[in-house]
Copies of this chain bind each other. A is one copy, B any other.
Amino acid sequence: MEVNEGVLISEFLKALDLVGTFVFALSGAVSGVRRRIDLFGVLVLSFVAATAGGIVRDVLIGATPPAAIQDWRYITLSLAAGFVTFYWYPLVAKVKSPILVFDALGLGLFAVAGAGKALAFHLGPGAAVLMGMLTGIGGGIARDILVAEVPVVFTAELYAVAALAGAAIVVIGDSVFGSSAPAAAIGGVVCVALRLMAIRKGWKLPVAQQLD
């Protein structure tokens, strides 16, 4: 199948994609080290956190084998993040704030790239927004399921909503202007800004009222 990914994912976005992979992998590795999981488990959690969103997206849109499995850079970066976290955990644990910033960057990039890839594979606009959001949040969900916890994306500050907004801007831009390159830039910036503002201001989605 011919796809015009080249237009969307420029060299700049590719670099950001790899940064996002590395930072998401760090989040998986930290999760494993905190639970005293062994070296192998830490490496698996790194890889899963970095790539599960993209892998599930690729399986759903029929793009098998998934890029994260075929392209050696994803696994190499994931393993590197896992080893760094495993052997220098106290160091990684200290730089929490920069990690949140990189994580927000990764979220924005993954949401935008995921929506773009779904459009390139001829999915409809609603499905493409869904795939963009999934690419952004899927890795974190899989990471938390593997350590038997309720995914933090369900309680974090506007995490999924930011991914949704970024993906929606890409899809709207594509259907209005026919080209998604500027929309991708705007979508990514909006997603990252929303997420960082939400962390700083403590914005959260509401929780339902219950009878006790």
For residue A118, give the distance in angstroms from its CB to the closest CB of chain B. Answer: 8
The count of identical subunits is: 3
- A211 within 8 Å of B by Cβ? yes
Q: Mark A172-212, 1 if CB is under 8 A from B, else 0.
A: 00000000000000000000000000000000111111110
For residue A46, give the distance in angstroms from its CB to the closest CB of chain B. Answer: 12
B154 touches A38 (CB 8 A): yes
Known contacts A151-B146, A208-B86, A126 near B72 by CB under 8 Å:
yes
Instruction: Give the nearest-CB partner of A60 in chain B.
Output: B65
B69 touches A123 (CB 8 A): yes
Contact among B65, B90, B148, B154 for A37, CB-based, below 8 A: B154
- Total interface residues in chain A, CB < 8 Å: 58
For residue A126, give the distance in angstroms from its CB to the closest CB of chain B. Answer: 5
A55 to B33 CA separation, bound complex (whole angstroms): 29
- A7 within 8 Å of B by Cβ? no
- A3 within 8 Å of B by Cβ? no
Q: Mark A137-154, 1 if CB is under 8 A from B, else 0.
A: 000010001111111011
Question: Residues of A at under 8 Å CB distance from B?
Answer: 32-42, 44, 55, 59-62, 64-66, 69-70, 72, 75, 85-87, 89-90, 93, 121, 123-124, 126-127, 130-131, 141, 145-151, 153-155, 160-161, 204-211
